[in-house]
């Protein structure tokens, strides 16, 4: 009987079940849904035309004062092949639509390897590809911890794949918080007081992006970096850069996603 239900009906059943099992997380899903609806109008009227830079990776290294060509590039290529093959061997999954891509993964790898952050915060995990890349880089550095906030997808077939890309051996450096960034980020920010790298990859509404960036930017240590995925979704990243005056790079996602991500760098102390 359940197999004959429509996708909408199955979603409704799963939302109802989630409401009974975890009312707080169900509330987060409901709030996200309302914010998505509110953001549709803003997206139509306030989305700027971003211009991705063809030499974005070289420019990023120049801003970081890091060596170019990047000596860490071969290690990333090997890691990315392993990530793709390990997830592929598990079979096709609906969750892949929420995953990262090689371009953003490469940017995060280089940021962690070159800046050697002690505290990294990310919002949005999905199967954990970005998490895996950053944890691997922290492991190579021999120091640092990743704090991730994630509201898993409501559909069970996606939700059960949460964190699948992160092997158990890497999780000793990882703190994972389930729920929305609206609920967890202010308390985490207060607990940490300073952060070296922040990565936004959760709900890409303008309101949520502004909330996360303005919450975390004051906490970023001098020379720290803020990364936002899918910046083409709205004008939040562009207005943030204009207001902060931060040096920034906009890079293209690879052909599997065809979006854009942005990197903002906080000036180092004089």
DSSP string, 141-171: HT--EEEEEE---SSHHHHTTTTTTS-GGGG
pLDDT value of position 69: 97
Report percent pLDDT > 70 for the chain: 84
Task: Flag whether pLDDT at 223 surpasses 60.
Answer: yes
What DSSP state is assigned to residue 20?
A: H
**pLDDT recorded at residue 37:** 66
Q: Which residue has the higher pLDDT, 177 or 27?
A: 177
Q: How far apart are CA 134 and CA 136, in angstroms?
A: 5
Tokens of 116: 């050697």
Residues contacting residue 243 through CB under 8 Å, at least 6 positions apart:
none
Whose CA is closest to 199, among 159, 237, 232?
Answer: 237
Contacts of 91 (CB under 8 A, 6+ apart): none
> Which of 115, 124, 207, 200 is closest to 162 using CA atoms?
124
| pLDDT at 46 exceeding the cut of 70 | no
How is residue 172 written in tokens? 């000793």
Please check the confidence at residue 90 and state whether its pLDDT lies above 70.
Answer: no
When the pLDDT of each residue in the chain is averaged and rounded to a whole number, the result is 87
CATH architecture group of domain 3-265: 3-Layer(aba) Sandwich (3.40)
- Please tell me whether the peptide bond between 145 and the residue prior to it is cis, using omega within 30 degrees of 0: no
pLDDT confidence bin for 152, thresholds 50/70/90: confident
The least confident of 40-49, 72-81, 133-142 is 40-49
What stretch of H or E contains 146? strand 145-150
What is the rounded CA–CA span in Å between residue 8 and residue 11? 5
Percent of the chain, pLDDT > 90?
64
Q: What is the mean pLDDT of residues 162-187?
A: 95
3-state secondary structure (DSSP) of residue 194: coil
């Amino acid at each position: 009987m359940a197999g004959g239900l429509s996708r909408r009906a199955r979603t409704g059943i799963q939302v109802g079940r989630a409401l009974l099992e975890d009312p707080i997380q169900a509330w987060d899903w409901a709030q996200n849904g309302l914010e998505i609806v509110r953001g549709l109008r803003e997206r139509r009227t306030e989305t700027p035309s971003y211009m991705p830079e063809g030499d974005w990776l070289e420019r990023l290294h120049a801003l970081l004062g890091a060596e170019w060509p990047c000596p860490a590039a071969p290690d990333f290529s090997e890691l990315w092949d392993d990530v793709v093959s390990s997830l592929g061997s598990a079979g096709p999954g609906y969750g892949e639509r929420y995953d990262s891509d090689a371009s953003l993964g490469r940017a995060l790898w280089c940021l962690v390897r070159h800046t050697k952050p002690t505290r990294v915060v990310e919002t949005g995990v999905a199967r954990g590809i970005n998490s895996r890349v950053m944890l691997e880089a922290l492991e190579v550095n021999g120091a640092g911890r990743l704090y991730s906030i994630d509201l898993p997808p409501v559909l069970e077939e996606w939700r059960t794949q949460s964190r699948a890309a992160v092997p158990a051996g890497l999780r000793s450096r990882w703190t994972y918080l389930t729920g929305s960034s609206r609920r967890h980020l202010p308390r985490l920010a207060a607990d940490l007081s300073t952060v070296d790298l922040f990565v936004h990859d959760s709900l890409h509404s303008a309101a949520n992006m502004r909330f996360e960036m303005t919450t975390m930017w004051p906490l970023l240590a001098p020379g720290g970096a803020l990364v936002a995925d899918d910046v083409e979704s709205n004008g939040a990243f562009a207005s943030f850069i204009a207001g902060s005056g931060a040096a920034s790079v906009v890079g293209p996602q690879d052909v599997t996603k065809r979006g854009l991500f942005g990197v903002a760098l906080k000036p180092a102390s004089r």
